Structures are given as structure tokens and as C-alpha cells.
Structure 1
Amino acid sequence: MRRALTAATTLAAVVALTATGCSASGEKASGPAEIVIWHGQEDTSAKTIEKLVTRFNDTHKDVRVRVESGGATADGMLPKITAALTSDAYPDIAYLYGSWAPNVARNPKVADLTAYTKTPEARWQDFWANERESVTVQGKVIGFPAVVDNMVVLYNKKLLDKAGIEHPKPDWTWADFREMSKKMTAPGDGVFGATWPISGGEEAVWGLWPMLWQAGGDILSPDQRKATFNSPAGQQALDLLRAMAVEDKSLYLDSSPAEKGQKLFESGRLGFFMSGPWVLPDLQAAKVDYGVVQLPGTNGNHETVSGPDNWVVFNHDERRVKAATTFLSWLTAPEQELEWMTATGSLPIRESITKLPGYQDYLKKYPGVDVISANLANAKRVRPPTTKYPRVSSFVADAIAKTLLGRTTTKEALDEAAAKADAALAVPGS
């Protein structure tokens, strides 16, 4: 074993010398620094990032970016990166969900950009606060913000009008949400007031967290060692959803990972759909007459949940890390970001973008995106920055499914999930 480690270390040193473009005598590399980015995007997003990379390469002589999908969609990027980091086949930059930051930050091959963020060219304070928090793990900045979003409620204007319901106003409550959903529901016609995923993924719990936060609860204790989502606030949130599903029959329970709920909304058979800016291009293509409003509130609190994603930087050598920061500084600059937003419907990741002349054209292209953009002010917290979060989330997702299917009470389901979460959180390390 010792010999194998020594051989591996020697090989790594040779690879490192090759990667830096330096010879054993310390000669500096010639030509541009070449870096690879795995973007994991699809369709319009993929075409847009590739277009921007081409423009960067045409206008920058010292850095050459090679763009790749990474062989996976954004959903599958974490296992792809995890496998790649066991060798030298990892990229310089990869698109990763913000909730994965604690998982990847532990790897020594992840670059530390903390010092760079303090330089004027980074314009770090121009990013929204929750984005900066998402890309920082225990004081270490591991990349740049890539995308920011938040959850709102999209509503079908025709279904509301048919039921004689006034369109929701910004100050509406969860009681309003339930009552309106009940009035729009027509099971015989396959029409439901709202939907909730029960397929067991993060999408099942994502919408519960704002309800929990609004009621004064939290997911974990401040030291992240105990589950607190089974508090009275958590029970209150899930009780409302259970009442809609079991008593009112107004909640369509979506057990399909293919997200049938969105298809129901697009086909005019769903009144409310809790989602984010990424669905706006789909709704426009389906010619849905929709409106957008912030989440219902509790005692005037309309807190939402946000899922900032990151461009994580990996360290092959100092020269390539510097090249990566040069590229990402350019890519996330307001002008490039506005082009990305206009093509994809995503939200501004920098406050200064909203002051650009073309921002108003972007707002006109995506009706309702102004509401979603303004709703960033209600995104006050991020999901717990712990490697244990995926397991905690899976326990809660299971509790939600059991509850909404009427198989158990809210308290029993959440208490069981909390006990499992506490056991997982008590295990040292990963």
C-alpha cells in the first residue's frame, strides 16, 4: 500500500507539472491557459453558454475555454464530478447546484477563491446575499454564482375566472390558497386546484420549507446537529397540505419524476402551480394565460425558498485557476448575464443588471418575471449547508408522501423523519 501511494504521488507530480505547462527546469508555459468547463445545460441554455464561450475565446488571447456538457445534465453532475475527482479527468469549472456545495467543498481539488472575491474586479457585493452564502462553505469561496431563482405561485387566469375567484393579490394567505384551490377543483373533469410532488425527491420538500420558515420554524438546529422541522410550525405547514389532499381532494399528488403537475398546468387543468422562472418559456410555448404572484404568507411573512446554483472552480494549478476566474468574471458580468437571462428566462444574479437599458426588454419578453425578480427580496435563507442535507431531505420527502396519501398523521410522519434525521446527523464525518 505504501509503495502504491508513493507511485501515485510521483505520477501526480508528473501530471501536475504537465498540467501547469512547466518543465522540470521551471520554464513557464507558452500560449494561452486552456481550461475546460462542464455546463450540464440543455436546449436553449446549452446553446447560449456555448455561444458566450465562443465570444470569450474570440476576444481573449490569454485564456482558451473548451466547453463540454460533462456527459450529464445538471441533475446528474454531482456523481459525475465525484467520479472525475478520483483522477485528473476533472474539469476546471463545473455547474453544480448550491445545495451540493458542502459535499464538493471538502475535496482538496476544489479551489479556494476567497482572496479573489476581495479584489475590485470580482465585484462580489454586486451578487445577491443568498448567492454569496450558497457559494461559501465554512468561510471558503468555491466558485461563482451561476443562477439564482425562487419559488412563486403561477395561476391559470381562465380557471380562476370560471370559478368566479378574484385573482390572488400579494398579501394573500395560505388559507386563501386552500380555499381558492378547493373552489377550482372539479375531479370529474380532471381539474385540480393545486399539485404537490410525492415522488421522493427534493422537489417534494422544496415548497414546504417556506411554509415552515414563515411560521417561525427551521429545518435544523443552529449547530445542524438536530432536526427541528417537526416543530409546531412544521406540523402546521404539513397539516394544511394534508387537509387539501385528504379532505378537500384539491391537491393533485404527482408521483411522476417527469413532473406531470406542470403538464396539467399547461393543459389548463391545474389552477395553481408552485414553481420558478425556469418554467416561463414552457408556459409561453404552450400559450398558457397565466399570472404570477408571490407565495401566500403567514402573518404577513411571504418568505420564499431559493436555489442558487454555482460555477465551482477546481484546482489543477495556479495558472488554470486564474484563467477560470478571468473567464467567470467575464461570464457573470452584467452584459453577458443579461444576454443569458434574455435567452433562458433566468433571473438577474447581480443587482446592477437591473439597471441596464436592456433589462426592460427582458421583462417584456417574459411576462411575470418582474414579480419573480422582485421576490428575491423574500429569499432570506438557504437550505442547511451540511453534507447531511440530502439524507434529511429524503426523510422529509417520505414523510410528506405518507401524510398526503393519508397513511399517517402529520405529527407521526414528521417525528419519524426527525428521528431518522437525528441519527444521520449524529454520525461523524460524511
Structure 2
Amino acid sequence: MRRAVTAAAAALLLPAALTACGGDGTQQRAGGPVEILMWHGQEDTSAKSIERLVATYNQTHTDVKVQITSGGVTADGMLPKITAALTSDAHPDIAYLYGSWAPNIARNPKTADLTPYIKDPAVKWDDFWAGERATVTVGGKVIGFPAVVDNMVVLYNKKLLAKAGLEPPSKDWTWDDFRAMSKRATDAQKGVFGTTWPISGGEEAVWGLWPLVWQAGGEILTADNKKAAFNSEAGRRSLDLLRAMAVDDKSVYLDSSPAEKGQKLFESGRLAFFLSGPWVLPDLQAAGVDYGVVQLPGTAGNHETISGPDTWTVFEHDERRVKASAAFLAWLTAPEQQLQWMKDTGSLPIRASISQQPGYGDYLKKYPGIDVISGNLANAKRVRPPTTSYPRISSFVADAIARTLLGRADAKSALDEAAAKTDAALAVPGS
């Protein structure tokens, strides 16, 4: 059954009358729909879901046609891809970007400002969580719509824990518990490890460290974002814990693959614990994994986690395409479409009103443990620093983590070196 254009979309659309071929390859025909291009950066289940939603939109709307592609990269590689495309006008209208990249991408003059469009009452901007709205708003400029909100939890393999004689962790467990249980579950002869940690240099290695630092009373940067703070005693103790597990206990599988093997190892019954988020639940169910979900281990009762709101960022070609992009995103992020996305992917609600949608209870039943992850949003109290230098800072810390876990450096010297590089990067004007 065809759906009517939503009020939000109708308010944003203009008659299509573009005649040019965009630099991104979209064909704008006189009298035809406004054509926009989206790079979604998704994989597997998520890619199929967004493609189905876009197909529905194109079938039920005549004023805008959305062309969709992965962009030739996963979400991890989207920032350099977009940065290069912006230099040659080969950029899409919409791209999926991590929220931590927002300060960097907002500086580009080709990044659109959607502030006039989100003021439309039909968009219901205040229905998005405050942290999401803050992520897409940089210096008063709204650069896109919230795409995903998540947080980090611990998934555990029930069968492996039982085989090791371990009870499932309680919600008030500690990092000492995590270390002890990981060591006990490790069986090197059978290729079974307590947990895994990426050491390929990406953000995946880093964002797992920040909750430990925060729980221990540390910070990533100083309050003015001008100096590194992660090389504090809190940072050293946090990385030392991981070093002890990897080097002394040998309970950590050190994942050097850029593609990251952690999820596959967990699915195949070779990891007792896997630090991840809601996006993996559909794959775990498809693989038949008997898993449980628990909040992160805590420090002195603090179970702070990390959340990474991601964005559908909009880029300018001309005014009509910006308005068409805003109209499409108003539709895509509406509760009805979001609930379908959530059912397909196991993502968390990006709007408060989604929990009132018919079928929300079915979503909770479909993904055992999703209620734990949703509740864990209360433990997501801080975000990564809103600085354009964050991608470089992340790479410095990722290198420090890798060298420490490989036993090539101690935690203090590795973090101090990363801090010196961070300070130099932050000293550059405009960072």
C-alpha cells in the first residue's frame, strides 16, 4: 500500500526543475524529480535494511528520487572518502558519518546547514535525544540528522562460561571480575580466549579504552580541549589492566586485522566476552549464538559507558537538493521507518516516541538483551571531545594501545608519547 508523503516531507519539498547533471553523477532532468545521492557505508543486514527503506521511499514519493550506494567503503572509511570527494565536487548529498567527525566535517563550506528545516514543527526535532541533537549541531550549524545512537556493553557466551565453571556476570561486576573470568575462560590449546582487543590502529581500539579512563576519574582532554589528559594516572591504570590481560594472562586475542575478527570469533564460540553494541545482535542470532548481555564492568560502582551518536550528514550541491535531502531524512528518521530499521538491525531508538509505536514490544522480544542495552544509555554520560583533531588523537592512542598490548612499550611511556603528539596537534590553529 502506498504511503502518503508525511507532513514533514511535504513541507520541505519544492517542485523539481533541475536540468544539470550533478558532479556526483546524478541526472537532474527538467520536470522530473530532484535526484539525490546517499552513501550509506553500511554492511550486511544494515545495508539491506537501508536499501529496502530507500526503495519504499522512492515507490511512495514522486518529487524526490534517492540513489543509494555504500560509497565504496564501510562507515570506518567514510571520512577520508568524503574529504577527497569534496575537493572535486564528486560528493554525495547525504553520507553516514561518525558523530566524532562532526567538528571536522562541519568546517567544510560544502557541508549544508539544515537549521531552517529542522525548525519545522512536523520534524519534531526535540523528539531526538539531546546527545544526538548536540552531535549534529556544530557552532550553531545543524549539519544533518541523527542516524544511530548506541553504547558499549559486554556480550558473553553462556556455553563457554558454563564450561569454565563460571556464572554469568552480575550487573555490579568489576574490571577485576572481568580479568579473572577472562583468564579462567581462556583455553589456548583450543584457541579460546577470554576476550579480544583490536590493534589495527582504528577507533575501535580507542573507544573501548575511554570508559575505563572515565570510570577511574580521568578525562580524554583538558576542559579547554587544548591538552591531552588521557596520560593521567587513570589512563595508565586503565591501559595497564589491558596489558596485564594481554601480556601476563594471555587471555586477550589481539586482533590485527583491519576487518576485525572479534565478532566472528565470538560467533564461532572462541570468545567468552565481546565488548560491542546493539548492531551485532542480528548477526549473533543468525549464527545461533547463546549469548547474554550485561553492562560494562565498573570501578567503585561506576559503570560509565561510551555512546557514539552517528549522523546522516548533508552536503551542498544546490538549494533544491539540500531541501530534498532534508525532506528524505525527515521521513527516514520518523518513528515508523526507524522502528522498521530497529527491527532489521537491532539498533536503539533515536527518538523518544518510538517506544510508543505499535510493534515496539515485538522489537524487544526479537532481540534478547536489547532492553539491557537501551537501559545502558543512562550510563553514557560523556562523549568524545568535539575537536577537529580527534581523528588524529584517536590514531595516536590506538598506536599506544597496540604497542602496549603487544608488550613493546609500557602503558605510561606509550600514553606519554601519544599525549605529546596530541598536544602538538591541538596547538595548530583551528584544531
* 1:323 CA displacement: 1.6
What percent identity do the matched residue pairs reach? 78
Instruction: Give the Cα–Cα distance (whole angstroms) in 1 for the partners of residues 254 and 139 of structure 2.
Output: 38
* 8 Å Cα contact 1:331-1:337 kept in structure 2: yes
Residue 205 (structure 2) pairs with residue 190 (structure 1): no
Which is greater in Rg? Answer: 1
2:81 counterpart letter in structure 1: K
Instruction: Give the Cα–Cα distance (whole angstroms) in 2 for the partners of residues 53 and 251 of structure 1.
Output: 40
1:112 counterpart letter in structure 2: D
Residue 68 (structure 2) pairs with residue 67 (structure 1): yes
Structure 2 residue aligned with 1:395: 396
Instruction: Give the Cα–Cα distance (whole angstroms) in 2 for the partners of residues 20 and 156 of structure 1.
Output: 52
Residue 311 (structure 2) pairs with residue 310 (structure 1): yes
Structure 1 residue aligned with 2:221: 220
* 8 Å Cα contact 1:130-1:380 kept in structure 2: no
1:123–1:64 CA distance, 2 compared to 1 (3 A):
same
* Mapping 1:24-423, distance limit 5 Å: 30-423=31-424
Unaligned runs of 5+ in 1: 1-15, 22-28
1:37 counterpart letter in structure 2: M
2:414 counterpart letter in structure 1: A
The 3-state SS of whatever aligns with 1:71 is: coil
Instruction: Give the Cα–Cα distance (whole angstroms) in 2 for the partners of residues 327 and 215 of structure 1.
Output: 43
* 8 Å Cα contact 1:36-1:92 kept in structure 2: yes
* 8 Å Cα contact 1:244-1:251 kept in structure 2: yes
* 1:19 CA displacement: 5.3
Deviation by residue 1:130-161 (Cα, 9 ceiling, x = unmatched) = 21122122221100011121111000111211
1:318 counterpart letter in structure 2: E
Instruction: Give the Cα–Cα distance (whole angstroms) in 1 for the partners of residues 190 and 257 of structure 2.
Output: 20
The 3-state SS of whatever aligns with 1:88 is: coil
TM-score by length of 1: 0.90
2:102 counterpart letter in structure 1: A
Instruction: Give the Cα–Cα distance (whole angstroms) in 1 for the partners of residues 383 and 267 of structure 2.
Output: 29
Instruction: Give the Cα–Cα distance (whole angstroms) in 1 for the partners of residues 409 and 43 of structure 2.
Output: 39
Instruction: Give the Cα–Cα distance (whole angstroms) in 2 for the partners of residues 393 and 252 of structure 1.
Output: 21
Instruction: Give the Cα–Cα distance (whole angstroms) in 2 for the partners of residues 253 and 57 of structure 1.
Output: 44
Residue-pair matches, total = 408
1:256–1:90 CA distance, 2 compared to 1 (3 A):
closer
2:402 counterpart letter in structure 1: A
Unaligned runs of 5+ in 2: 1-16, 23-29
* 1:20 CA displacement: 11
* 1:80 CA displacement: 2.3
Between stretches 130-139 and 154-163, larger displacement belongs to: 130-139
Deviation by residue 1:180-238 (Cα, 9 ceiling, x = unmatched) = 11221222222221111112211111110011111121111122110000111111211
* 8 Å Cα contact 2:18-2:31 kept in structure 1: no
* 1:31 CA displacement: 4.5
Structure 2 residue aligned with 1:4: none
Instruction: Give the Cα–Cα distance (whole angstroms) in 1 for the partners of residues 192 and 66 of structure 2.
Output: 49
1:227 counterpart letter in structure 2: A
* 8 Å Cα contact 1:19-1:317 kept in structure 2: no
Instruction: Give the Cα–Cα distance (whole angstroms) in 1 for the partners of residues 267 and 365 of structure 2.
Output: 21
* 8 Å Cα contact 1:77-1:95 kept in structure 2: yes
The 3-state SS of whatever aligns with 1:115 is: helix
Instruction: Give the Cα–Cα distance (whole angstroms) in 2 for the partners of residues 265 and 49 of structure 1.
Output: 26
The 3-state SS of whatever aligns with 1:319 is: helix
Instruction: Give the Cα–Cα distance (whole angstroms) in 2 for the partners of residues 283 and 188 of structure 1.
Output: 25
1:69–1:258 CA distance, 2 compared to 1 (3 A):
closer
Instruction: Give the Cα–Cα distance (whole angstroms) in 2 for the partners of residues 246 and 44 of structure 1.
Output: 36
* 8 Å Cα contact 1:143-1:313 kept in structure 2: yes
* 8 Å Cα contact 1:20-1:317 kept in structure 2: no
Q: Please give the root-mean-square deviation of Cα atoms over the aligned residues, in Å.
A: 2.1
Deviation by residue 1:346-390 (Cα, 9 ceiling, x = unmatched) = 221112112212111112212212211221222222211212111
The 3-state SS of whatever aligns with 2:384 is: coil
1:57 counterpart letter in structure 2: N
Instruction: Give the Cα–Cα distance (whole angstroms) in 2 for the partners of residues 83 and 336 of structure 1.
Output: 31
* 8 Å Cα contact 1:183-1:193 kept in structure 2: yes
The 3-state SS of whatever aligns with 2:115 is: coil
Between stretches 400-409 and 64-73, larger displacement belongs to: 64-73
* 1:295 CA displacement: 0.5
